[in-house]
Amino acid sequence: MLHKTVKYLIVLIAFAAAVPLYSAEVTFFLGKVDAKRHGRVFNVSMGAKLEAGDYIETGSRSTLEISYNDGSRITVKEKSAVRIGTPSVPSSESITVVSGNVRGRFAKLKKGTNKVYTPTTVCAIRGTEFDITVRGGDSRVDLKEGSLELSNQYGSKDMSAGEKVQGDISGPLKEAEKTPEQWTADKEKNLAENPGESAQRFRKHLSDSEKFGKNRSEAIENTSTVVKSAGSVDEIEKAGKDIEAAEETAEDDLYLSEGTALSVSSIIEDFETRKGDIYESFKKLRDEANRVSEQKMQNYQAIQAVKEEYKKAREAIMNKFQDDRNRILEGVKSKNLKPDMNF
């Protein structure tokens, strides 16, 4: 009985931990750094606290360092763009690398992982130093120290120190054979000379993402059914764990889809002067990317609704559990107080 109550409290604490464990702030910058919050430009300064949705771009020969309370830090190198968290998730602080190059060094957590996102990958970090490069939506990770897990809608891969992996738009994760400089040059050349091929890969990526999103939606509905039918402490505990995992997945999907939309918008800015078919094609892709992001947002909101269902179901079950326990104790107490007439 006590064991079940302790497990219940652990689940309750996990759901109550909505307060961020660390906050992002600017600890160094050099050169031209542009920043926007809620669509409005704001000045970057030393010690400035960054909020969910802040979008930052560095100019030529410019750099910015973002640090967290736990000692982790991200260095945004020149000609790069990143976003802090997502405006869809309050107090979120994970970095999305939209374009360019960043170097990260993260403190090792006692439990769980930090995450960094690109338009194509989720990087789950377990105390490590790494470089992430993004060009035209494609990304690569060069792991200097520690370990991390890369994942996207096509699969996952564990990385060890010294490994380099790329995740292209609409493609599985694979080993990167070229140096970061060669890889970057090839990606920039391909996007400039053959943007139509990049547009096709984006289109396939968005189509695949939409299919995965529908599967996630069905899984969330199934979880809701399980919560409503739960009738015991063990059943509601299992449902709680399922919800926790589903929420993490929904948040990852949201980051990835919004990262894709930001990447397409970045490419549109580069092609704006061309005003041709390719420009119009990417504008249509941006609309599609925003639509897919909305689907992922609906999934995230749906799992939040299931969490509310869970809280009500958990309360009802735990109240019944406590009532049953009290009746048993009262019964035991009454039996012990009853006089022994056999004398």
Q: What is the mean pLDDT of the chain?
A: 86
Q: Give the Å distances, CA to CA, from 286 to 39, 61, 99, 199.
A: 17, 29, 16, 11
Q: Considering just the CA atoms, what is the radius of gyration of the chain in Å? A: 25
Q: How confident is the model at residue 271 (pLDDT cuts 50, 70, 90)?
A: confident
The pLDDT score that the predictor gives to residue 11 is 37
Nearest to 297 by CA among 141, 155, 86: 86
Does the pLDDT of residue 253 top 60, yes or no?
Answer: yes
> How does pLDDT run across 214-226, given as a tens digit for each residue?
999 999 999 999 9
Question: What residues does 65 pair with on adjacent strands?
Answer: 28, 75
Query: What is the maximum alpha-carbon separation in the chain?
Result: 106
Q: How confident is the model at residue 254 (pLDDT cuts 50, 70, 90)?
A: very high
Q: Nearest-5° angle of CA 69, CA 253, CA 297? A: 100
Tokens for 200, please give them.
């096709």
Query: In whole angstroms, what is the distance from residue 63 CA to residue 80 CA?
Result: 9
CA-wise closest residue to 65 among 57, 50, 75: 75
**260: closest CA among 173, 163, 167?**
167
Q: Among 45-59, 63-77, 107-121, 314-328, which is the least confidently predicted range?
A: 314-328
Q: What are phi and psi of 204, to 5 degrees?
A: -65, -40
Q: In this structure, are residues 115 and 139 in contact, taking their beta carbons and an 8 Å threshold?
A: no
Q: Is the dihedral of CA 48, 52, 57, 63 positive or negative?
A: positive
Instruction: Specify whether the CB–CB gap between 190 and 197 falls below 8 A.
Output: yes
Answer whether 252's CB lies under 8 Å from 273's CB. Answer: no
Q: What is the DSSP letter of 72?
A: -
- Work out the angle between the directed axes of helices 233-271 and 277-337 (0-180°, nearest 10): 160
- Reported as half-sphere exposure (CB side, CA atoms, 13 A), residue 84 has a value of 31
Q: Would you say 76 and 66 are in contact if contact means Cβ atoms under 8 Å apart?
A: yes
Span 320-330, pLDDT tens digits: 766 555 666 66
Distance, in Å, from the CA atom of 309 to the CA atom of 306, rounded to the nearest integer, reads 5
The residue-averaged pLDDT of 61-72 equals 93
- Say whether pLDDT at 1 is over 60: no
Is the backbone of residue 80 left (phi > 0), alpha (psi -120 to 50) or beta? beta
| Predicted structure pTM score | 0.85
End-to-end Cα, the chain, rounded Å: 36
Chain-centroid distance, C-alpha 266: 20
